[in-house]
Chains A and B, each alone.
Chain A
Amino acid sequence: MGQDKTISERLWAVAIWAAVIFFIINFMAMIATVVINSFGTRWLGTWLPAGYTTRWYRSAWDEFQLGDVLITTFQVVGAVVLLSGLFGVPAAYALARRNFPGKQLVMLLFLLPLMIPPITFGIPLATVLYRLGVGGTFWGVIIANLVPTVPFVILVMIPFIEQIDPRIESAARVFGAGTGQLFVYVLVPLLAPGILAALLLVLVRTIAMFELTFFTAGPDSQTLVVALYYAVYAAGVRAGQSIDAMAVIYMITTLIWLLIALRFVDPTQMVARAKQEAAR
């Protein structure tokens, strides 16, 4: 195995790599168009813009109130990360260490919000949130975003917790540690890499989470991705370069966190970990 021997096998390999490279080149070129356009003065009917400028960033910043939008985005994302850790890690600990009756049912309960797409449950959820009076507010956006992230943290954390030797916890118990002390002095330090990985993935997912934020956000609780959607939707009102400048700011915001996250997690984990659980 491994080496390709016949000509047809080699041709097949070349065809596959050509397809992969074609995919990546097109994707890169698409990103490049956005970046170049955001710096271009005028770009009509040529390969490259007529000249280059940075003024679109200034105008995008003012037109779309990007300062406020960025602050809202980071507040929402920060609250979602913190709260999904607070809800998720203890629940994952209980699920990793105890085999109580109905555990399968509880696991299914946590799988559903990950398997059902946000757009399907987002509309009933937004209806409930609006009836409760939190729809359209900052907290409504946070609550809606927590619905998929709490189960996500739980499913990512369970294997991490299972790796820890339970005798360490028993030892802490013997010396009189309560559950709270056990968490603060034993579990959280030992689980730090896992918690970090899970929360960074939550962070990246929440920055890019469009549907749930879109359904629940009011005018002053929009995150960056929703503001970008409205800008593209109303294209023609503003200069295209201005929208692309905003898109570049969005890309930078997302990709910085992605790069940090990738230092701690394997890329396949971003889609596969929770889903493999689902496959069982």
Chain B
Amino acid sequence: MTHTSDRLARATQESTHERTPWRVRLALHDIDGITLLVVPAVLFVLGLFVYPFLYGLVLSFKPRAGDFLANYRKFFSDPFLYDTIYATLRLALPATIINVLVSIPVALRVRKLHRRRLLTTILVIPITLGTVLIAEGLLNYLGPQGWLNRTLMLLGVISAPLRLVHNYTGVMISLILSGFPFTFLLTLSYITGIDASLEQAAATLGATARARFRHIVLPLLVQGLAVNFCLSFVQTFSVFPSAVLLGAPAGDTRVISIAAYQAAYEQYDASMAATIAMIMGFVQLTVVVLALAGRNLFYRGAAGGGKG
């Protein structure tokens, strides 16, 4: 505050001269030596994030052969390529919805714990280890001779081992195992942001747990859940290592990122790879926009208990 008033004072003094120096005029808009510190990082992100994206977009319209739309036409006319969108959505949408829905009751329960640090620490481990390690672990654990199948057979639930790897199920399990902790920690941070006194007030007025959830927590949570859904969806949509290692990369888990990878590193067609990357980004964006539009149908308001 004092900075600005100082500067204002200085500026008015100097404006009595014929022209205000440009430094002062810039400083009035909060542009000075300190502001320039942001420039290297901005240039970095412009050069290595925005530029490659635009480069990829332009490149996708410069196919090896044919007119500028040839790559897009090829993608949407070849079932081997366009089916990958369906294969990805078939994994990403259920996995995200399961993770988000299950995370709500668990987070509501965990919120009441006083020492939840141990649980959150355990759940950070799968996120940290990443999908490659989870894929390798699950190959052993879910395999026909793995502990899960052995336990189920010992308990008499099944008579022959279930096929859980190198198919859709394996990738789905890995998406839940690596995705749930991420979704859960986000939901937990949103739920702890809701003022508990709002619920206490409702409980005092005789609302049951179900009614409190339905009429207080859920409306306040919808905003956060929509963002959570988007971030989790974007993560699961870009599944690559587990789809290759745990799935059937030539069959029903041939996801769009595999198609992009093959175009870039097996066919060396940078233009086609850029096209697939752009389509991948576009599908993600569409789902995110739909989810964010959906949340506007719900209540919008403060999650705090204070005034205003």
Contact = CB atoms under 8 A, between A and B. Distances in A.
Interface residues of B, number: 98
B136 A98 contact: no
A75 to B, nearest CB: 20
Contacts of A88: 41
Contacts of B203: 1
A118 B238 contact: yes
B299 interface: no
B34 A146 contact: no
B33 A278 contact: no
Interface stretch (A24-32, A54-62, A65-73, A190-198): A24-32
B40 A119 contact: no
Nearest to B60: A124
Nearest to A182: B34
Contact of B136 (A34, A215, A258): A34
A254 to B, nearest CB: 6
| Interface SS of A by simple majority | helix
Contacts of B245: 229, 232-233
Interface in B95-123: 102, 105-106, 109, 112, 117, 119-123
Contacts of B131: 210
A225 B240 CA distance: 14
Nearest to A35: B137
B195 interface: no
Contacts of B46: 109
Interface stretch (B13-21, B70-78, B277-285): B277-285
A29 B151 CA distance: 12
Contacts of B121: 262, 267
A100 B147 CA distance: 59
Nearest to A183: B37
A275 B231 contact: yes
Interface in A43-96: 44-45, 47, 87-88, 90-91, 93-95
Interface string B249-283: 00000000100110010000010011011001100
A16 B106 contact: yes
Interface in B1-54: 2-3, 29-38, 40-42, 44-46, 48-53
B180 A124 contact: no
Nearest 5 CB-CB pairs, A to B? Answer: A124-B56, A91-B41, A117-B238, A90-B37, A272-B189
Interface of B: 2-3, 29-38, 40-42, 44-46, 48-53, 55-56, 59, 102, 105-106, 109, 112, 117, 119-141, 145-148, 150, 177, 180, 182, 185-186, 188-189, 196, 199-200, 203, 209, 212, 223-224, 227, 231, 234-235, 237-238, 240-241, 244-245, 257, 260-261, 264, 270, 273-274, 276-277, 280-281, 284
Given A45-B145, A93-B37, 13 more contacts: A16-B109, A26-B141, A94-B36, A94-B37, A110-B45, A119-B257, A123-B273, A128-B48, A146-B44, A210-B131, A232-B245, A254-B129, A271-B182
25 contacts: A1-B196, A26-B148, A29-B141, A29-B148, A30-B140, A87-B41, A115-B234, A116-B234, A120-B284, A121-B49, A123-B261, A123-B264, A147-B45, A150-B44, A150-B45, A204-B128, A229-B241, A232-B136, A247-B137, A250-B129, A262-B124, A266-B120, A267-B117, A267-B121, A268-B120
